[in-house]
Chains A and B, each alone.
Chain A
């Protein structure tokens, strides 16, 4: 299928967060071990941006087109749309099998340790703009909680050496009184420019920081490339 090859911009979608519980068909529930990622008091004290991994198993289970027209079944399975809406000359915007610890054995302090998967920027061009819509549920555990979603982002040189690591944040989200224990869907958008080799070779995954314990249920990513 050769749809949209004249089109410059494009996007892809995935639901492949590794936090989704295999024991419950990759859907979150209230049961222990199935309710999501715990952002603990220890994370609060450390000011951690908790990086949220992707998983190829979850990708294969969750990123399946539910429609028949257009038929995308013949396209590579690189996201929910099977690459149907990707920008020009882009094979995939997600790498589900990337294993940070394998690539950087013995690494510490980057924030990516023990993470898997990444948003793949290697097929992008100078001047592209990356916009990631990060869909996630938050269950506040304490009143008056401020959550900061971000892309945890490491620039890398052409030899894969990490040069700078930082959070690309968007507006914080406040959960006041009356919110504790409830589930809130958030669909925040985070942008980044792609302007150098170090951006094209960058590592990035969504991350969340909070000033109180929260339960995070990462749902999906929609990565859009604007040219």
Chain B
């Protein structure tokens, strides 16, 4: 008998004693105790049979606490610590936060048609932005609740090489796969964003840069309902909402939080450097960012 590793099995709602000849017991059936005569050993008691018969029924008897490890293979410092760990892991109400072990499993992730749900091909599904992939020190991926604390694990020990998105194996190393998963989980810019209903809300970014100082350019521009919305008081005006942020690095992108109905146009305007370096085609006057909102804006790039 090798060491006995104690693991709460979320999927099976049971506790596993890896390395033991009887490795599986249902949740809420066992408890651990320190043996009174041999305090460096522990007993594991079957509480159900003990309650039925009135006679203590052991599942492990006088086993040195040093023969056990926790789920991660860490030794216990005392017999009491080991006994308490067994009692805790064998009596879990609701989710324990330890998640399902995906060791050796291949899992494919995808979004539903409206990009509001993340679907796993093992049958689980989560809302977008509710889960997060994080790299584990052992080189595998853990999928945790995206609550900021990262302490509720839905799945663990997913091999990066066994991960696919939309049916395609994700390339690159551990962090590449993690980034790709999080891109999917947050419906990032490289994911397909579906707007099938102009009344619906679309949120397509996390951790981006909020444009807090928008610039309204052109005549008759107004701010009807707040900083996020721009409008015009007259038809046929040359005006626009010009971001002060510049895309000048590979991978940067803009996202848009559309909250009201309307006809919305959006596009890119040359930066002054881009314009000055001649990175435009067509009419130089229309491409000049200085002319945005003041000189036939439709031809100035938006």
Could you count the A-B residue pairs with CB atoms below 8 Å apart for me: how many are there? Answer: 59
B301: CB under 8 A from chain A?
Answer: no
Rounded to whole Å, the gap between the CB of B11 and the closest CB of chain A is 23
A188: CB under 8 A from chain B?
Answer: no
Can you list, as one digit per residue, whether each of B45-65 has a CB less than 8 Å from chain A (1) or not (0)?
000010000001111111110
Within 8 A of B (CB), among A84-142: 139-142
A30 partner residues in chain B, CB cutoff 8 A: 37
Rounded to whole Å, the gap between the CB of B295 and the closest CB of chain A is 84
B9: CB under 8 A from chain A?
Answer: no
- Closest chain B residue to A210 by CB distance? B1
Within 8 A of B (CB), among A14-71: 30-32, 35, 40-41, 44-45
Within 8 A of A (CB), among B39-87: 43, 49, 56-64, 67
A180 to B63, CA, bound (A): 11
Contact residues of A: prevailing secondary structure: loop
With A41-B67, A45-B2, A144-B22 already in contact, the answer to whether A178 and B62 are too (CB < 8 A) is no
Within 8 A of B (CB), among A183-227: 211-213, 215
Number of interface residues of A (CB under 8 A): 23
B229: CB under 8 A from chain A?
Answer: no
A44 to B61, CA, bound (A): 16
| Contact indicator A181/B21 (Cβ below 8 Å) | no
With A142-B20, A144-B21, A178-B57 already in contact, the answer to whether A213 and B63 are too (CB < 8 A) is yes
A31 to B21, CA, bound (A): 27
A142 partner residues in chain B, CB cutoff 8 A: 1, 20-22, 59-61, 63
- Closest chain A residue to B3 by CB distance? A41
| Contact indicator B64/A41 (Cβ below 8 Å) | yes
A156 to B20, CA, bound (A): 39
| Contact indicator B62/A141 (Cβ below 8 Å) | yes
| Contact indicator B1/A143 (Cβ below 8 Å) | no
Instruction: Please pick, from A40, A44, A177, A213, the residue contacting B22 in the complex, using a CB distance under 8 A.
Output: A177
A145 to B43, CA, bound (A): 16
A211 to B3, CA, bound (A): 13
Interface residues on B, range: 20 to 34
A45 partner residues in chain B, CB cutoff 8 A: 1-2
B1 partner residues in chain A, CB cutoff 8 A: 41, 44-45, 142, 211-213
A209 to B266, CA, bound (A): 79
- Closest chain B residue to A176 by CB distance? B22
Instruction: Please pick, from B21, B22, B38, the residue contacting A32 in the complex, using a CB distance under 8 A.
Output: B38
Can you list, as one digit per residue, whether each of A141-160 has a CB less than 8 Å from chain B (1) or not (0)?
11111000000000000000
With A30-B37, A181-B56, A181-B58 already in contact, the answer to whether A141 and B21 are too (CB < 8 A) is no
Rounded to whole Å, the gap between the CB of B195 and the closest CB of chain A is 59
Rounded to whole Å, the gap between the CB of A138 and the closest CB of chain B is 12
| Contact indicator A143/B21 (Cβ below 8 Å) | yes
| Contact indicator A215/B64 (Cβ below 8 Å) | no
Instruction: Please pick, from A31, A139, A144, A211, the residue contacting B37 in the complex, using a CB distance under 8 A.
Output: A31
Rounded to whole Å, the gap between the CB of B218 and the closest CB of chain A is 81
| Contact indicator A141/B49 (Cβ below 8 Å) | no
| Contact indicator A139/B61 (Cβ below 8 Å) | yes
| Contact indicator B59/A180 (Cβ below 8 Å) | yes
A145 partner residues in chain B, CB cutoff 8 A: 21
- Closest chain B residue to A145 by CB distance? B21
| Contact indicator A143/B22 (Cβ below 8 Å) | yes
Rounded to whole Å, the gap between the CB of A113 and the closest CB of chain B is 23
- Which of A41, A139, A140, A215 has its CB near the most chain B CB atoms (within 10 A)? A41
B62 partner residues in chain A, CB cutoff 8 A: 141, 181, 215
| Contact indicator A180/B60 (Cβ below 8 Å) | yes
Rounded to whole Å, the gap between the CB of A212 and the closest CB of chain B is 5
| Contact indicator B63/A141 (Cβ below 8 Å) | yes
Q: Which 5 A-B pairs have CB atoms at the shortest separation, nearest pair first?
A: A181-B58, A143-B22, A181-B61, A144-B21, A44-B1
20 residue pairs of the A-B complex, CB under 8 angstroms, read A30-B37, A32-B37, A40-B64, A139-B61, A140-B61, A142-B20, A142-B22, A142-B59, A142-B63, A143-B20, A143-B22, A145-B21, A178-B57, A180-B57, A180-B60, A180-B61, A181-B62, A212-B1, A212-B21, A213-B67
Known contacts A35-B37, A180-B61, A181-B61; 12 additional CB pairs below 8 A are: A32-B37, A32-B38, A41-B63, A41-B67, A141-B60, A142-B21, A142-B63, A180-B57, A181-B56, A181-B58, A212-B20, A212-B21
Which A residues lie at the B interface, using CB under 8 A?
A: 30-32, 35, 40-41, 44-45, 139-145, 177-178, 180-181, 211-213, 215
